[in-house]
Chain A
Amino acid sequence: MTKVTMTVNGKAVSKEVSGNTLMTEFLRDELRLTGTHVGCDTSQCGACVIHVDGKNVKACTMFAAEAHGAEVTTIEGMANADGSLSVLQQAFQDHHGLQCGFCTPGMVMTAAKLLEENPKPSEHEIRDYLEGNICRCTGYHNIVKAILAASGQDVSGIAAE
């Protein structure tokens, strides 16, 4: 067992974990933060994307011990301080960027990083950046539209689908 200490969504946490505890297991089972989803568990689908020290990573393909000392943000840390949805989350709701919602935490975490790196991405840049995030329901169209809208770009000309 190893003792790991990190900051998750602004709160310091400390736990004893075994060497093979994945970040997904640490967040979901130890901290009960079940917003980070596990789809494939093989680094393919992106449902588990979180931010570790400011970088988007797949939590299913990282050990908790590797995040010792890190600043971690999960989907539970994305809403505004008063509990209302962030601009990006609200855009997903407004533009029907989700159906079953399984992929949504990873989509939001990935899109948030994209908008930090590239505040006004083109449709092509959005699709390219979402390459590692798979959605079984929406056909991506409305996810892309929600991200365009969240970046302040006009989406009125894009048909709803």
Chain B
Amino acid sequence: MYSFEIETPTSLADALSALGQDEAQALGGGQTLIPSLKARLASPAVLVSLAKIDEIKGITAGDGTVTIGGGTTHAAVAAGVAGSYPALAALAGNIGDPAVRNRGTIGGSLANNDPAACYPAAVLASGATIVTNTREIAADDYFQGMFTTALEEGEIVTAVTFPIPEKAAYLKFEQPASRFALVGVFVAKYPDGVRVAVTGASESGVFRWTEAEAALSADFSVAALDGLSLPAEGMMGDLHGSGAYRAHLVAVMTKRAVTAAG
């Protein structure tokens, strides 16, 4: 690792002023950033830890929504939304392993936008709103391709607001070595239609499968998906699975998610 200073502010205001320094970077749970620092893929002069800022942690229920602070760990989400949004709780409770879930945060996951991460699928399928220190960003505008988001330099994810669906499920085909999604599909049914978001598959990161959404909005059943498929072009191919394999898995996992949503 290159050398850097580390600061541990306890308020968002102090964190933002610390992030105003030259080459400062936010540190969430560190589960992605610390390995990248070790690999010298990042070289901040100052790391500003968000872990001690209580005002960006925790879960609050709203009218048909649930809002999760950007600094909330995966473990706290798994426990905290089990009653209000069980599909989201199950997703959070299945990220990595218990020790990763005790450190990793929803804000860090969304800022990183790994093409195989789980939360982006939930956020996009729920039509959630990403709240930062300066503005609110709709999920449809937030994800801009692999490891790319609408966030500006130094902008902090302070919360995410999820509208609670009538039914939902996330099905993850796990890559057993990394424990990320080889393909993950989140299906969420709302009164005004169904949204289907796919992670792990596309070269452009998380995306909505609009054909499946139209079919499921007309008829929320596995049969409605019969005959629907995605092209292999644009899908990631690597030693774990070809593009064609991932495209096939998306259709399979979408059907399973519909079954699981009930």
Contact = CB atoms under 8 A, between A and B. Distances in A.
Among B3, B5, B6, the one with the most A-chain Cβ atoms within 10 Å of its Cβ is: B6
B38 to A, nearest CB: 7
Label chain A's interface by main secondary structure: mixed
A86 interface: no
Contacts of A113: 98
A19 B6 contact: yes
A132 B99 contact: yes
A58 B6 contact: no
A66 B98 contact: no
Interface string B1-39: 111111010000000000000000001001100110110
A132 B102 CA distance: 12
B102 A61 contact: no
A68 B102 contact: no
Interface string B88-106: 0000000011111011000
B174 to A, nearest CB: 10
B6 A110 contact: no
A66 B52 CA distance: 9
B51 interface: yes
B3 A20 contact: yes
A68 to B, nearest CB: 7
Question: Which 4 A-B residue pairs are closest in the complex by CB-CB distance?
Answer: A132-B97, A19-B6, A131-B97, A55-B102
Interface of B: 1-6, 8, 27, 30-31, 34-35, 37-38, 47, 49, 51, 75, 96-100, 102-103, 179
